[in-house]
Each structure stands twice: as C-alpha cells, then as structure tokens.
Amino acid sequence: MSGISRRSLIGYSGTAAAGAVLASGAAAEAAQVQGEATKKAGAAAAGAAAQGTQAAAAFPRGTQFKGTSMVPGVGGEVVITFSVSTVDAPASYDIAPIELANALNKIAQDHGWSPITFYGTPAPAPLTP
C-alpha cells in the first residue's frame, strides 16, 4: 500500500478521493502479491522438473560414483567411490548402482556418518532411486 496516511488524504482531498486512492492501492498490492505467488509457483515447478530430470539420468555401465560425508563439529570426512560393471552375465545378475549406494549408506550411517549422495562422473548427476 502507499505511504500516504488516510488522515492526510482525507484532510487534503476529501473523503471520496481518499477512498479511491486507498482502493486502487489495495488493488495494486493484491496484484503484486498474486504476481509473487505466481513466480514462486513457477519456480517450484521448474525445480520439480529439474529434479525429475536428475532422477531420470541414465548412467552407462562402469560409471564411477563418488560421494562425501562430513561429521559436523568434528571435521572428519569419508569419501566413497565405486563402480559396477558386469561382463558376459545375464541381466538377472546385474547389481544396480542404487542398491550398492544404499548398502554403503547403511554402513556409513551405522558408523555415525550422515547420508551420502553419490554422483556419477560421466554425467554429473546424483544417483537417486
């Protein structure tokens, strides 16, 4: 709303003009709030689309994954790197990288480390389920 007080508007230009100015200020403020809400909704949709793109990242066989975790306040750090590749084996014997990442995360968390997000090196994207 404008920085003009109601009292100064009424004293200066009469009640009808003051009401018109205040009403137009309120309408402008409402439009501004609606515009900001629309921008936030658009940004949220763009973020969701980006996450969907990241989740859909396809990693070729043999991709090297790397993740790091730090202990807050202590300064310790663990770095885990792995890759999975099968040669001449049926598809039923394949080990999905996310399975290995989840198993490594469980081990790390059992030892007090925070969860690790692993990133693939050929395509710099996080490994997600």
Place of tokens 């990442």: 101
The most confident of the ranges 11-15, 40-44, 101-105 is: 101-105
Work out the average pLDDT over 86-97.
91
Whole-angstrom CA distances from 35 to 40, 47, 58 are: 9, 18, 37
User: Per-residue pLDDT tens for 36-91?
Assistant: 544 554 444 444 444 444 444 788 888 999 999 988 788 899 999 999 998 899 99
The two most distant CA atoms of the chain are separated, in Å, by 90
Q: How far apart (Å, rounded) are the C-alpha atoms in residues 117 and 109?
A: 12
Number of CB atoms found within 10 A of residue 120's CB = 19
> Is the CB of residue 13 less than 8 Å from the CB of residue 4?
no
User: Which residue from 6, 1, 28 is spatially nearest to 18, judged by alpha carbons?
Assistant: 6
